[in-house]
């Protein structure tokens, strides 16, 4: 790696980009893990809540489980939108700087 590349990697802009990506990733992962562990804790400590009937042949567990799956898709969508809107542009700017040097 030459001096110019190392300057870019050591730059405050690049370090901020990396820390922002980690912050977004950790925040979304924390939300998803909280949802999953909340569901597991509910199963472990209060099964009757999930076993309660909300329809003729439907318990609360089914829509809650479906909600967990949908929340995973939504959180993935949030990350993709953020990455496409903010992260990719910043990466392209850094790549352009590398190509200039």
Q: What is the pLDDT of residues 45-76, one digit of tens each?
A: 999 999 999 989 999 999 999 999 999 999 99
Distance CA 17, CA 13 (A): 6
**Whole-angstrom distance between the N-terminal and C-terminal Cα of the chain?**
12
- What is the predicted pLDDT for the residue at 99? 76
Q: What angle do CA 5, 9, 12 make, to 5 degrees?
A: 130
Residue 92 has pLDDT above 80, yes or no: yes
The rounded distance, in Å, linking the Cα atoms of 69 and 39 is 12
pTM value is 0.82
């Amino acid at each position: 790696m030459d001096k110019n590349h190392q300057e870019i990697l050591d730059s405050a802009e690049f370090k901020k980009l990396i820390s922002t990506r980690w912050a977004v990733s950790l925040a979304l992962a924390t939300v998803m893990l909280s949802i999953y562990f909340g569901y597991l804790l509910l199963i472990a400590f209060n099964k009757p809540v999930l076993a309660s009937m909300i329809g003729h042949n439907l318990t609360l567990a089914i829509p809650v489980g479906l909600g967990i799956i949908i929340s995973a898709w939504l959180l993935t969508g949030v990350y993709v939108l953020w990455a496409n809107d903010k992260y990719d542009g910043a990466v392209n700017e850094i790549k352009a700087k590398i190509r200039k040097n």
